[in-house]
Amino acid sequence: KDQKDASSKKPVHIFTTDIEVKRTPVKDQYKTGTCWSFATVSFLESELLRTGKGEFDLSEMFIVRHIYPEKALLYIRNHGKANFEQGGQSHDALTAIKQHGIVPENIYTGMHIEENRHNHGELSAVLKGFLDGVLLNKGGKITPMWPDAFNAILDAYLGKPPSEFPYKGTTYTPKSFFNEVLKLNLDDYIELTSYNLYPYYQKVHLDIPDNWSHSSDYNNVPIDDLEAIVDYALKNGYSVAWDGDVSEKEFSSKEIGYAVVPEKDWADKTTAEQEAEIAEPEIEKEITQELRDRTFNNFTTTDDHLMHIV
């Protein structure tokens, strides 16, 4: 009865699809912090569809496997005073592909421990613990052997990346597969941000934890320009890899499937208002540059999760 009543409830929001860019099926990152790789790979798979190259299922974990050593080296060189977490940005995925190429998902799944879904809880803890052990410098100096040991951990959990593999009757390396089969120009893609903290219409260093590689290639534009660029891209068949804040109470991917920014802040609502069932659409805030900058500065807007807008 309860299930029937719940399913018969009138939805609060009724959506129509005005634009939908070609995309591949959604992949499950499950218990990992590698949304940056999943979102960017999904974006590139849409680009392959858009450019007429066909549908591909590319390996997100091949990218993750090659980014971890770069992140570890920076962590060691900074004596542990750098970000060594699972997160990252879209440019990390593009950098990995430029340097190492990429492979199809069936060639490198990254699930070497005989599970059918990704789970990096133990892997993340082991990697961080290993690096912190190196930094203790118990031998009086850090030896050149730690990178080999670090890579051995990655190979144990994710599998050793292939140096070559067969694809449709031809043997490729990861780089030749990208250059000869996928043929995407990764320099065609740009990163955008919007904060009054930085000069507009210039490339800037975005100060967020997941910009661990300290990229200064974010093109900073006013918020109205950013919205217009995204709208223009979608209307013209291009998708967008988007890094967003999913920490707000009104962001729900599981229960209601949409996110809103109500005019009244969650903290300003009474307990009754917070617990009340939403029966009709709430009035939403106008997102201004001033509001965006203020919430970024006071950490109520945070860098949480990369997604793919199609």
Q: Is 256 exposed, middle or buried (0-12, 13-18, 19+ CB in 10 A)?
A: middle
Q: Which two tokens stand for residue 302?
A: 């945070």
Measured CA distances, 196 to 212, 291, 293 (Å): 22, 11, 7
Q: Report all structural domains of the chain as residue ranges with CATH numbers, in order of start.
A: 2-309 (3.90.70.10)
Contact 192, 226 (CB under 8 A): yes
pLDDT in tens, the chain (310 residues): 444 454 556 777 888 899 999 999 999 998 999 999 999 999 999 999 999 999 999 999 999 999 999 999 999 999 999 999 999 999 999 999 999 999 999 999 999 877 889 999 999 999 999 999 999 999 999 999 999 999 999 999 999 999 999 999 999 999 999 999 999 999 999 999 999 999 999 999 999 999 999 999 999 999 999 999 999 999 999 999 999 887 777 777 666 677 888 888 888 888 888 788 777 788 888 989 999 999 999 998 888 899 999 9
Q: Is 275 exposed, middle or buried (0-12, 13-18, 19+ CB in 10 A)?
A: exposed
| The pairing of beta strand 170-172 with beta strand 258-259 | unpaired
Q: Which amino acid is at 71?
A: K
Q: Which two tokens stand for residue 32?
A: 């990992």
pTM, 2 dp = 0.91
Helix axes 146-158, 121-135, angle to 10 degrees: 170
User: 159 has which bridge partners?
Assistant: none
